[in-house]
Amino acid sequence: MSTSSPLILALGDSLVAGYGLSPSDTFPALLEQRLRARYSGARVVNAGVSGDTTADVLRRLPRVLSALDRRPDLAIVQAGPNDVLRQVPPATTRASLEGLLTELGRCGVPVLLTTVAPPAFLRQRAAGYLGIHAALAERHGASICDFFPDGVLGHPDMVLWDGVHPNGRAIARVVDAILPAVERVLEPAAEAAR
């Protein structure tokens, strides 16, 4: 990595894609803007697709990686809520996330795996999925953090008209919360490049 131009791949579902948001308010766009205060040439590639399950993200991964002009310095993977909503078997979710982490590891791409705590109305449905992300992150040496900071998920002032997806204000809070985790992953690579 050039010390001033990290390439970050943001891979996942509607939370990455920016469902219902203007392009400048999406998670990848706001993260890139914040990173440029420290890394002037930082790029964050938006590889989110609304509605994707973990299996969908895994299927897309080879095409996404081959479209990049170089190996990413970090992949942020946000996938799993659609598995819960569609009741994909937890074993399938685990296998798909395992595949994602294995392939990114094989390519030498560090991973920041994000999680979403289920809202109250989905807790029972989500019970079988709890802990999958954390266990796989530990197994693969990936970093892990919550996607939503406290006070965002489920707050009526932080969602779009659908009452589910985050608005631009919520995504700005998400970026504030995730930025330190992203910088912790990038810092060793930046130090080595100096």
In this prediction the pTM is 0.93
**Residue 139 belongs to a domain with what CATH number?**
3.40.50.1110
- pLDDT of the residue at 83: 94
Whether the predicted pLDDT of 3 surpasses 70: no
Span 9-31, average pLDDT: 96
Per the structure, how many domains does the chain have? 1
Strand locations in the chain, DSSP E?
7-12, 43-48, 74-78, 111-115, 143-146
Contact by Cβ (8 Å): 27, 174:
yes
Whether the predicted pLDDT of 147 surpasses 70: yes
DSSP at 70: S
| Ramachandran angles phi, psi of 102, nearest 5° | -65, -45
d(CA 111, CA 142) in angstroms, rounded, equals 5
Confidence band of 40 (pLDDT split at 50, 70, 90): very high
In a domain, 2, yes or no: no
In a domain, 72, yes or no: yes
Beta-carbon count within 10 A of 172 CB: 18
| Ramachandran angles phi, psi of 50, nearest 5° | -60, 135
Strand locations in 4-153, DSSP E?
7-12, 43-48, 74-78, 111-115, 143-146
In a domain, 1, yes or no: no
In a domain, 189, yes or no: yes
d(CA 70, CA 23) in angstroms, rounded, equals 23
User: For the segment 100-141, what is each residue's pLDDT rounded down to a tens digit?
Assistant: 999 999 999 999 999 988 776 677 888 889 899 999 999 999
* Structural tokens at position 100: 């994602």
- pLDDT of the residue at 159: 82
User: How far is residue 180 from each of residues 31, 84, 159, 175, measured CA to CA in Å?
Assistant: 11, 28, 24, 9
In a domain, 149, yes or no: yes
In a domain, 185, yes or no: yes
Q: In which domain, by residue range, is 85 found?
A: 7-193
